Structure 1
Amino acid sequence: MKQRMRRHIVLVGMMGAGKTAIGTEMARRLHVPFTDSDHEIETAAAMTIAEIFARDGEAFFRDRETRVLARILDGPPGVVSTGGGAWMRAENRALIGARGLSVWLNCDLDTLWHRVRQRSTRPLLKTADPRGTLAALMAQRNPVYATADLTFDARPGDTIEAAATRLIAAVRQAHPDIPEAR
């Protein structure tokens, strides 16, 4: 009899940590849905996140993010990628804790900067010193990310496939009720 996943695997962490890329590969291997909460917010609003931030502000965006996250977590168990700031809200941590396994994709500053520096889609990095802003966000957020159920340290040279393999193994070791990848 095929084992089914009973709860979501929810990836949290900084922008550029690989939540969407690794999450997509994990979901494919586990044969479960993959949902990117940022993509769901953009679809619901018919706007990009940068446009939402510019028009309505971060507080408005964070409220919408919580609503969308609750809707996703009410759905069938799968792998969920959250926006970098989602885990900062206690309400979101409680939602995720009640319905999923939270996994922090921990990544070093140099790797994150390499991945996000060319992207103009990161509203929080539209500052005079985006690398400094990224470092400050990490200093503020990492202690909160560290409260996730599981910490997964990214390796700078890992491919998406290698990272997904290691992460599935780590999740299964901590929570054997997660089905084996096929």
Structure 2
Amino acid sequence: MSSTRRENLFLIGFMGAGKTTVGKVLAEKLGWCFMDLDQVIEQRSEKRISEIFAEQGERFFRDMESQVLSEVSTNAHTVVATGGGVIGREKNRHLMRNTGIVVFLDVPWKQLLERIEEGQGRPLAEGEDAMQRLTSLFEQRLPLYRMADLVIDCSGQSPQDLAEGIVSRLNETKLFLN
């Protein structure tokens, strides 16, 4: 087993799952660093994710996302909020599993849709066929999300409650090697 195993937490889930919000609370609770993969990409490219999608396309964005994930995964004691599609590439799933604990924030579909409608800057949630595209993406990704080390039911819980629940589950399952 690698010495870097289990030294990070990767939060995965569909857009609107609350990965960034919960991640910040969780990092503070653990005394760890927090990184939002999308924010790192935006800072590096000096463009919003929606601009990257519009100007260079999804494949370019996914390549950049994989590169940034690879760099971030070399950190230790970092909570990483990933983008909703990061699990689409096998190499990303493998990398997260080998360098940390993967936590799926499982939010009911209806609640996700409400959050997505309230938000902005989600390129895959825009356009005439957005609902059909989102439903299809969610159905495709759900089995991949469920392969996480921990699946957290997010129904009706605050970010603080979720962070506490994640820490409890990590301690119960002894996933940390510290």
Same fold (TM over 0.5): yes
CA contact (8 A) 1:172 1:178 kept: no
Q: Which amino acid aligns with 1:22?
A: V
Alpha-carbon distance in structure 2 between the residues aligned to 1:178 and 1:59 = 35
Structure 1 pair 60–166 and aligned structure 2 pair: CA distance change class (3 A)? same
Match of 1:85 in 2: 85
- Please, which runs of 5 or more residues in structure 1 have no aligned partner? none
Match of 2:19 in 1: 19
Following superposition, the deviation at residue 6 of structure 1 comes to 5.4
Following superposition, the deviation at residue 169 of structure 1 comes to 1.0
Match of 1:168 in 2: 167
CA contact (8 A) 2:104 2:150 kept: yes
Cα deviations across residues 32-59 of structure 1 (Å, max 9, x unaligned)? 0001001000001000000000000000
Following superposition, the deviation at residue 70 of structure 1 comes to 0.7
CA contact (8 A) 2:101 2:175 kept: no
Match of 2:39 in 1: 39
Q: How many residue pairs are counted as aligned between the two chains?
A: 174
**Segment drifting more, 49-58 vs 110-119:** 110-119
Provide the secondary structure at the position in 2 that maps to 1:152: strand
Following superposition, the deviation at residue 118 of structure 1 comes to 2.4
Following superposition, the deviation at residue 119 of structure 1 comes to 2.1
Match of 1:151 in 2: 151
CA contact (8 A) 1:13 1:19 kept: yes
Instruction: Report the identity percentage.
Output: 36
Match of 2:64 in 1: 64
**Counterpart check, 1:7 vs 2:14:** no
**Over aligned residue pairs, what C-alpha RMSD do you find?**
1.6
Q: Which amino acid aligns with 1:66?
A: S
Alpha-carbon distance in structure 1 between the residues aligned to 2:73 and 2:153 = 25
Cα deviations across residues 72-131 of structure 1 (Å, max 9, x unaligned)? 111222111100000111010111111011111111111101111022300001121433
Q: Which amino acid aligns with 1:83?
A: G
- Please, which runs of 5 or more residues in structure 2 have no aligned partner? none
Provide the secondary structure at the position in 2 that maps to 1:76: coil
Q: Which amino acid aligns with 2:88?
A: M
Provide the secondary structure at the position in 2 that maps to 1:117: helix
Q: Which amino acid aligns with 2:130?
A: P
CA contact (8 A) 2:11 2:81 kept: yes
TM-score by length of 2: 0.92
Match of 1:111 in 2: 111
After TM superposition, which residue ranges in structure 1, 4 or more long, deviate above 4 angstroms? none
Structure 1 pair 109–77 and aligned structure 2 pair: CA distance change class (3 A)? same
Structure 1 pair 127–99 and aligned structure 2 pair: CA distance change class (3 A)? same
Following superposition, the deviation at residue 145 of structure 1 comes to 0.9
Provide the secondary structure at the position in 1 that maps to 2:140: helix
Provide the secondary structure at the position in 2 that maps to 1:11: strand
**Counterpart check, 1:48 vs 2:48:** yes
Provide the secondary structure at the position in 2 that maps to 1:158: coil
CA contact (8 A) 1:37 1:69 kept: yes
